[in-house]
Amino acid sequence: MTKRRKSPAPFPSQEEIVRFIHESPGNVGKREIARAFHLDSAQKTELKKLLRDLELDGTLARGRGRRYAEPGVLPNVSVVEVTGIDADGDLVAKPVQWESDAPLPLVRMAPERRGQPALGPGDRSLARIELTDQKTSDGAAVYTGKTIRRLTTSPAKIMGVLEDQGTYCKLRPTDRRTKSELIIDKVDCGEAGPGDLVRAQLLPGKRLGLKQGRVVEKLASLDSPRAASLIAIHDHQLPVDFAPDALAMAEKCGPAPMKGREDLRQVPLLTIDGADARDFDDAVFAEPDPDKANKDGWHLIVAIADVSWYVRPGTALEKAAYERGNSVYFPDRVVPMLPEALSNGWCSLVPHEDRPCLAAHLWITSDGHLKRHKFVRAMMRSHARLTYTQAQLARAGQTDDVTAPLAELVIANLYDAYAVLEAARKKRGALELDLPERQVVIGDNGDVEAITVRERLDSHKLIEEFMITANVAAAEALEKRKQPCMYRIHDQPSMEKMEALRDFLDGVGIRFPKGQVVRAGNFNGILSKVANTPEADLVNTVILRSQAQAAYHPENIGHFGLNLRHYCHFTSPIRRYADLLVHRALIRGYSLGEGGLEDDHRDFVDAGAHISATERRAATAERDATDRFTASFMVTRIGQELEGRITGVTRFGLFVELTESGADGLIPISTLPDDYYRHDEKRHCLRGDDTGQEYTLGQSVQVILREAEPVTGGIILSLSGENVSRGRTSGRKRPGTRSDKHGKKSRISRSKRKKAKRQ
């Protein structure tokens, strides 16, 4: 009698898998899911595909070890690290792993069980956590946590500024989320003194009152012009120093051989970059295509530094580049991905010197479509290093000694080819947001001279369009040759964000129909309707916030914002590890010699998650440094009345961008005219019950600068007298309120109002 074959278990639905992951204590992997639903080997293959689809559409996020969780939500059981004590005396912590685009959550830890020593800054624990309906001042989620098991107890190091208190010093933390201060005896300050930026170690002591510490490292004086970026580097733990073997390897590098390379040294390739650029990794050239089958078409060359020749898989240079993931750019310095001997030396396309490159030959039609492409390893010699301003002036007929011999043919051809690409971009319907970019101008003495809006010239757009075309060609080439590709993916906005956007647009009288397939061009139609109106900045901001976050991944879902089916990053391997992976894949795919992908090449899924995280880390560090530089610049303007625009509306106050400087500040709800305020999330406004006064996203306001704190980058504002008088009503004044998660009004206590003001 034959044994009856057991039928496979029913395959779970997407909803069942997501619910299982959400309800599991901690992140789970494919093995745990398959075991829970009793899946056989064939079903496990189907599960792998389903998990990949859920990850690509943003339903799930992949953490370390290929384990899954809901994006932007901490698992019920997480490892947290205590960071300090807040203003209310609560012990606060942060998750050790956080790879979401959302702000880093805050975890308020419950007191330890009787007989257990209290946790302190630097301690890690496995904790059971629960989400609350509260938010921090920067919009981060707040959780409560309870220790399951203490993991480590190590002397915590807190960065801060020393302040003289007479017989002792006080350490004021640089992280605005850390409210706890330390007392440091002067004998424990070492060589550091008041005003110095230091790292201090927490010392064991009594639990009540301020804790004690001692200085373990003096970093710089707070008066140092470089303090703002230094704080950001240490806060975000950016790798700065290269390992000795990586530096030694970079110093030993030299000229690449000509063998196996196409000779492009006579082609008038140009680099066009910012005036303060030190590394030049891309050069461009354009000429009319002589092919009669491509009438009025163009032949472009985009030549990119051949970093893969110098940075080989498995070497110390490779390890350093992967760890950093990308270069980080501050107003006063760069934390490079590669040592200077490469980033500013052999991998920089400096003018009039031979440099190895990976060149993309691109042929485009008269209507801007990519007709064909070819990738070669080559040797080039940049004919000139131009700034964006130089190129633009030359186009306008204002040449100098460098641009005069290039203007009529070389520069003119670049702009004519750009016009074709730009027309194709508009016809394609790429997202065209108009949002000014803040630029911190540093003087020769290192101090902030000005905060300006970064200029946007056609020369910027020219380089952008040439790079986009080369990136598309690289992605298409790798797919055709069946090579791994680190795609730059950008998903379409989620349904939840689209619903929120529709609600907002309805409030400003703009219809955004349901049921349509959302494309980037749909948003351009909305933006064109509000162009040159008072609502333009507001609508641009809200549409930007509705977009998904771009990321790196080996599975292609296209680029929604650019409206492209195939897209990767090929053009900046000096400063982005993703581009280096693409170069290696092209070298193997085209059989271009040494330095290509190896059979045991790095796992692209894990690498994509890592470099997406380092990109977010860099962006946050750059933003934090800019905030501190800006606060330093604004110190001299405390007490002045300034013009601004509301850029964020929360239950605890209003975020305002100052018109002149672009600085961001907070108006705490406790400083608004006395009233009962409801937070209308759909309309992005605070509304007073008594007065009917509304404070809405995008609204222009006159404010008074109350505080500017260079240590944390925080700026506190209040409404000017004119705004306040308009919001007041006669009769009894009542304290401000905010809505809870159900939209009900609730009175804010005096202590809560003080806390909101401090935040």
Note the pLDDT tens digit of each residue in 139-168: 788 899 988 888 765 556 788 899 999 989
CB 20 within 8 A of CB 36: yes
CA 561, 565, 566, 571 torsion-angle sign: negative
Per-residue pLDDT averaged across 505-529, rounded? 86
Q: What are phi and psi of 746, to 5 degrees?
A: -145, 140
Write the CA distances from 51 to 17, 19, 31, 56, 492, integer angstroms: 9, 13, 12, 9, 18
- Ranges of beta strands (E only) in 616-755 are 641-650, 653-658, 664-668, 677-680, 685-688, 694-696, 700-709, 714-719, 737-739, 745-747
List, in sequence order, every residue forming a beta bridge with 93; answer none if it has no partner.
82, 107
From the list 266, 277, 273, the residue with the least C-alpha distance to 391 is: 273
pLDDT at 72: 66
Can you tell me the distance from the alpha carbon of 677 to that of 182, in angstroms, rounded to the nearest whole number? 37
pLDDT at residue 70 in the model: 60
Query: In whole angstroms, what is the distance from residue 375 CA to residue 571 CA?
Result: 13
Question: What's the whole-number mean pLDDT along residues 486-491?
Answer: 96
Q: Distance (Å, rounded) from C-alpha 139 to C-alpha 174?
A: 19
Q: Characterize the bridge pairing of strands 551-553 and 282-288.
A: unpaired
Q: Note the Cα 198 to chain centre separation in Å.
A: 27
Q: What stretches of 378-411 show up as alpha helix (H) in DSSP?
A: 388-395
Residues 6 or more apart from 441 whose CB is under 8 A from it? Answer: 331, 448, 449, 450, 451, 452
Phi/psi for 97 (5° steps) reads: -115, 125
25: which DSSP letter? S
pLDDT of the residue at 365? 97
> Backbone phi, then psi, for 275, in 5-degree steps?
-65, -30
Angle at which helix 227-235 crosses helix 604-634, to 10 degrees, equals 150
Question: Residue 147 forms beta bridges with which residues?
Answer: 127
Q: What is the DSSP letter of 565?
A: S
- Whether the predicted pLDDT of 39 surpasses 50: yes
Q: What's the first-to-final CA gap in the chain, in angstroms? A: 76
Beta bridge partners of 568: 487
β partners of residue 746 = 738
CA distance 235 to 241: 16
**In angstroms, what CA-CA distances link 585 with 360, 411, 579?**
14, 32, 10
The separation between CA 80 and the C-alpha centre of its own chain, rounded to angstroms, equals 23
Tell how strand 370-381 and strand 262-264 pair up. parallel
> What's the whole-number average pLDDT of the chain?
85
Using an 8 Å Cβ cutoff, are 536 and 543 in contact?
no
Residues near 92 by beta carbon (within 8 Å), at least 6 away in sequence: 82, 83, 84, 85, 86, 106, 107, 108, 109, 177, 178, 179
Q: What is residue 60's three-state secondary structure? A: coil
pLDDT (tens digit, 9 = 90+) per residue, 553-600?
Answer: 999 999 999 999 999 999 999 999 999 999 999 999 999 999 999 887
In 3D space, the residue among 222, 733, 282, 227 whose CA is nearest the CA of residue 466 turns out to be 282
User: Residues 312-329: what's their mean pLDDT?
Assistant: 95
Q: What pLDDT was estimated at residue 753?
A: 40
d(CA 289, CA 310): 33
Question: CA-based angle 250:218:177, to the nearest 5?
Answer: 100
295-324 per-residue burial string, b: 16 or more CB within 10 A, e: under 16: eebbbbbbbbbbbbbbbebeebbbebbbeb
Lowest mean pLDDT among 318-332, 473-487, 688-702: 688-702
Tokens of 103: 């702000």
**In this structure, how many other beta carbons lie within 10 angstroms of the beta carbon of residue 239?**
15
Give the pLDDT confidence of 323-367 residue by residue, as tens digits: 999 999 999 999 999 999 999 999 999 999 999 999 999 999 999
What is the DSSP-derived secondary structure letter of residue 188? G
Residues 6+ positions from 376 with CB-CB distance below 8 Å = 261, 262, 358, 359, 361, 590, 592
pLDDT band at 739 (very low <50, low <70, confident <90, very high): very low
Measured distance CA(114)–CA(92) in Å, rounded: 19
Least confident span in 549-553, 582-586, 720-724, 748-752: 748-752
Judged against a pLDDT cut of 90, whether residue 81 lies above it is answered with no
Mean per-residue pLDDT, 306-316: 96
Q: Half-sphere exposure of 46 toward its Cβ, with a 13 Å CA cutoff? A: 12
Asked if 295 and 366 touch (Cβ cutoff 8 Å), the reply is yes
d(CA 302, CA 359): 6
Dihedral Cα 556, 540, 328, 68, nearest 10 deg: -40
Q: Please give the Cα distance from 362 to 467 (Å, whole number).
A: 11
Q: Which long-range contacts (CB under 8 A, 24 or more apart) does 30-36 make?
A: 30/66, 33/68
pLDDT for the residue 153: 58
Q: Are the CB atoms for 731 and 675 separated by under 8 Å?
A: no
The pLDDT, as a whole number, for residue 234 is 86
Looking at residue 513, what is its pLDDT?
83
DSSP state for residue 110 in the 8-state scheme: P
Q: What is the mean pLDDT of residues 640-666?
A: 89
User: At 754, phi and psi to the nearest 5?
Assistant: -65, -40
Provide the edge-to-edge strand list for the sheet that holds 61-62: 28-29, 67-69, 61-62
What type of residue is 633? F
Q: Which residue has the higher pLDDT, 182 or 415?
A: 415
Helical spans, DSSP H, in 215-281: 227-235, 244-251
Task: Say what the pTM is.
Answer: 0.77
For residue 52, name the pLDDT band (cuts at 50, 70, 90).
Answer: confident
Tens digit of each residue's pLDDT (9 = 90 or more) over 427-437: 999 999 887 78
Q: How far apart are alpha carbons 388 and 314 in whole angstroms?
A: 37
